Amino acid sequence: MSASLNAATTATAQDPACAEPLPVLGRDVTVPLVTGGEVTYAALDYAASAPALQRVWDDVAAYAPYYGSVHRGAGYLSQLSTDLFEQSRTTVAEFLDCRPGDQVVFTRSTTDSLNLLAAVLPADCQVFVFETEHHASLLPWTNAQVTYLNAPRTPAEAVATLERALAEREPYGPALVCVTGASNVTGELWPVKELAAAAHAHGARIVLDAAQLAPHHPVSVRDLDVDWVAFSGHKLYAPFGSGVLAGRADWLQEAEPYLAGGGASRKVSRREDGGVDVEWHTTAARHEAGSPNVIGVYSIASACRALTEAGFDHLVAREQQLVTRVREGLAEVPAVRVLSLFGEDAPRVGVISFVVDGWNSSHFAAALSAEYGIGVRDGLFCAHPLVRTLLGSEPQAQGECGAPEAAPGERSLNAIRVSFGAGTPDEHVERFVRAVRELVTDGAKWQYRTQEGRCVPAV
């Protein structure tokens, strides 16, 4: 390698302004505009599902001809697939900086991971969860005594609220705190390490919902001192629908399997009374019954390697430039209000939600798509209590295109969310900022109508 090329490579690695986004699938896809012509699609809905990294897709394509059933297969492809599956477990453990003895269980998603943890809670376990959580971490605890904590307005208030709730709990038994690492609505980072310290000081454990954190920041189970972490592959630039629950093994080993079936059992025998005796695995396999999603698991491991090799310092720095550009661009439009719990100066990932005066959010999102080729999200983002708290004083007209139906006497509420990450080109962000300004200033160029609760271009 020449000296000049070395210098150029070093400059690019150190200066996010010189950096290129990581290659992702769909970066060259064009979509039609209702006003005529086509444009390269700007995927700005990463918080729902991030596009797959090209590296991940290439790794999966290289493995696909060698695909075989995992565990217990005698054939070469089965042995190879088993090795790949278990190596992926090791890769994920390294990516999360797990402790010795921690288990990595492969699931379908973050939602599945947290439902698994809910299923293995000890008897009489109390769960503490902020109302600000995504439904995946708000709703699974139906078999436990749940305390829902009010939305805090500062990180310090979040810690104080949790400490007070834990100190007042009766009886003093097993307890679990569930908290997000980064909000899927505001993008704001939560004080996970401080919350973990508070939980442990009061004899509780803590699980981190890292669905929105892991794609944007390094997550260290060891440094954050959380007991478990859950995340989804499809938000980590990995397709095929797999997820992870990683952390302490004891509750997982002591509980009945989340799913009963092949793979979870070590030995099954008939009893004289006609029933069966089952000896369950004590490893992660205990909660991985059935044929696992080998390709999904491998794609997560590939994404973990790709992000690690790209360097999170570099990725975070570049993403923060995009966050700054979007926030500065939205601030220039007086009709736009960005939603926040912790205030303008709170650190955040590339997830920003906002409302626009005079617009129903579904109508605005539809116009961004149809007239500019920009894909964002609108609605309540599977975090209804949080969004309703943030929008509680801002009703939207029932008759406007795309206004969600509300119960009698209830306001119609929704917001717009733009989200981005390691694969987002600068041009997509610039187009979005320009489109917001033009729509607010000039209005939509097309007519829209409501169809099945959604705002769509009128034909």
Known active-site residue 382: yes
- β-strand partners of 230: 209, 245
**pLDDT tens, residue by residue, 239-279:** 999 999 999 999 999 999 998 988 888 898 999 898 999 88
Query: What is the mean predicted confidence (pLDDT) over 441-453?
Result: 92
Residue found by looking up tokens 């009886």 in the block: 171
Residue 454: its pLDDT value, please? 86
Do 257 and 289 touch, CB atoms closer than 8 A?
yes
CA distances from 367 to 41, 433, 435, 443, 444 (A): 14, 14, 9, 9, 6
Instruction: Give the integer Cα–Cα distance in Å for 306 and 423.
Output: 12
For residue 397, name the pLDDT band (cuts at 50, 70, 90).
very low
**pLDDT tens, residue by residue, 321-380:** 999 999 999 999 999 999 999 999 999 999 999 999 999 999 999 999 999 999 999 999
CA-wise closest residue to 232 among 93, 50, 411: 50
- The tokens describing 105, both together, are 């269980």
Residue 393: its pLDDT value, please? 53
- Which conformational region is residue 71 in: left (phi greater than 0), alpha (psi within -120 to 50 degrees), or beta? left
* φ, ψ at 313 (rounded to 5°): -55, -45
Instruction: Give the integer Cα–Cα distance in Å for 385 and 382.
Output: 9
Of residues 18, 98, 125, 382, which has the active-site annotation?
382
**pLDDT tens, residue by residue, 202-224:** 999 999 999 999 999 999 999 99
**pLDDT tens, residue by residue, 58-115:** 999 999 999 998 988 889 999 999 999 999 999 999 999 999 999 999 999 999 999 9
